Chains A and B, each alone.
Chain A
């Protein structure tokens, strides 16, 4: 009887110890890379261009995509619509620019963000319907409208990350954040 009790105690202690070996709980289902990709339907595009898919688009193609999917909310040429202004002069904002006039040309700091956000969340009422080529094209059109690219080459995984945005010159890290995370650098 006593021996049985000891045995039960041993099991009660040993099983959690085994399960928690390496400090893990062994909960959750491992996924293959293939399965991860199936779940990752709108992959993040990092500021260095990692994640950009194959495909490309030109300014002219983008103008057509814009007219169909974007103009209704953002205005015929990227301003004057009911929702966010997209087009401005290609100069960084100053303290005197009204926040309602913050747009791609004067405020957005990374060209890759345009691809990431457009594919991720636009068109607002029907997100995810644009093909990669259409996203590249409408991004090219927006950069052209803002005076940032001249439209001589299409936007693709090689050209887009090289586009320099005017407002990047204004962006710096919050000093409180820098103090807390000394290793942190903005891309």
Chain B
């Protein structure tokens, strides 16, 4: 029997302490310089999740693989996607932004014009209002991952010109209250944005993580509206109309409105409530006994994350996690918690609290506020169950009286899964 055959039969027995391949790279020259870098060929399985059930890939969403990433910056290639008419291929030479309506001077800007203005760089999360909807099932889906639970959130460094500067350049007329930004996609996507928010912190962004914004994220120019639902952060921005009234577009009336437990429909539910998700150990991962750093991400559109509490006993007791320094108040923050697993079955969970005192709800608390047929803003605590065998699965409970699924099942949209 050859050594190779033995290796195939029982790798553990035949392997030496140090794998022979470990030093091979020291005996030959490596790859040459190259103009644009690629990640290691061994990392090719770190990809966005696209549901096999989508009826169209021109509308719908895919998910950032939160359970395979570290730190707080989402690589641009892995930022979640949500579009309403496909990704337009915009030539920057043809790019124009027009600001008109209730302004003193209607103005047109080229991309070069926008880049000449004073710039601002900030780290902000962008989260789809439908985040969370996809992972919710009652009884819980035992194949759930952190990615499918909360992967409609990505966090980037954005560079651009403050929209307030462009509006000042055009000169606002008396009575101006609203902006109607429009995208250059096939859906000519529009929303209504109150002028006050625009004057506060909205960016007309042209760079993401230091390079040009990716086409899926709005190349060459998009709005970044810190802390607010992703769907208002219009991509491929071509036009901003200044008005005294909102447009009540399709995506702020028939979609992205919320059914409440009162039976009312809430409009303009813009600010994203606090979220947190444990990314390690999380659904479909495997751990062994001993030390583990529980890791995850937390964010809130209301302000800085003040604390994240961790429970390793199914919610009976809670202790504060350590927060890595967040680059900006409306950035996601990485939390960590030192834990020694004793090998007994348990349920772990995280709960975020922001500086305004908003606390991430339990599932019961969530459904006390929002109706069972609501589609958006699901931010209940996600639990993970660690079995005695170290396998990690969805740890959510089966809830009496709660819906079996959320969202318009079978119709795509930002639920993403079906």
By a beta-carbon cutoff of 8 Å, the part of chain A in contact with chain B is 23-25, 27-33, 35-36, 39-40, 42, 44-48, 50, 82-85, 93-100, 102, 104, 107-110, 112-113, 116-117, 120-121, 124, 127-128, 167, 170-174, 176-177, 180-181, 183-184, 186-187
Contact = CB atoms under 8 A, between A and B. Distances in A.
Contact of A127 (B186, B268, B411): B186
Contacts of B169: 24-25, 27-28
Contacts of B406: 99
A113 B408 CA distance: 20
Given A107-B254, A120-B190, A171 B265 contact: yes
Contacts of B105: 30
Given A46-B243, A120-B187, A24 B257 contact: no
A50 B116 CA distance: 35
Contacts of B194: 181, 184
Contacts of B108: 28-31, 35, 39
B83 to A, nearest CB: 12
Contacts of B266: 171-174
A-B interface, 10 closest residue pairs, ranked by CB to CB distance from nearest: A117-B250, A28-B107, A121-B187, A47-B248, A31-B106, A99-B408, A95-B371, A174-B266, A36-B100, A174-B269
Nearest to B254: A108
Contact of A112 (B84, B248, B265, B374): B248
A125 to B, nearest CB: 8
A169 to B, nearest CB: 9
B410 interface: yes
B98 interface: yes
Given A31-B108, A47-B246, A117-B249, A177 B177 contact: no
B106 A116 contact: no
A172 B245 contact: no
21 contacts: A30-B106, A31-B108, A35-B108, A39-B238, A46-B243, A46-B246, A47-B248, A82-B55, A95-B371, A98-B409, A104-B254, A108-B254, A109-B253, A112-B248, A117-B250, A121-B250, A124-B85, A127-B186, A171-B257, A186-B246, A187-B248
B271 to A, nearest CB: 6
B250 A176 contact: no
Contacts of B271: 176-177, 180
Contact of B165 (A25, A42, A94): A25
Interface in B92-109: 96, 98, 100, 105-109
B196 interface: yes
Given A30-B107, A39-B96, A120-B190, A127 B408 contact: no
Contacts of A40: 98, 100, 239, 241
A108 B117 contact: no
B259 A36 contact: no
B188 A121 contact: yes
A29 B107 contact: yes
A124 B59 CA distance: 10
B75 interface: no
B188 A120 contact: yes
Question: Which of B113, B253, B265 gathers most chain A CB within 10 Å?
Answer: B253
B333 interface: no
Contact of B113 (A24, A27, A94, A98): A27
